[in-house]
Structure 1
Amino acid sequence: VNRDDLLNVDDKNWNTIVCRRCGSVIFPEDRVKYIGLALRIPKRTLLCGDCAFGPLGLRTMDDKEFWVAVERVRYVDKPRTNPKARPKKAKKQKN
Structure 2
Amino acid sequence: KKTYAQAAESAVSKSTVSKSAQNPEKTEKNTAHASIHRKSKISEVRVAETQNVHSVPEITKLVSINVKHAQKEMKFVNILCLSALIAKKNMHLAQKN
Higher share in strand: 1
TM-score under structure 1 length normalisation: 0.18
Using CA pairs below 8 Å that are at least 6 residues apart, which structure has the higher relative contact order? 1
TM-score under structure 2 length normalisation: 0.18
* Larger CA Rg, structure 1 vs 2: 2
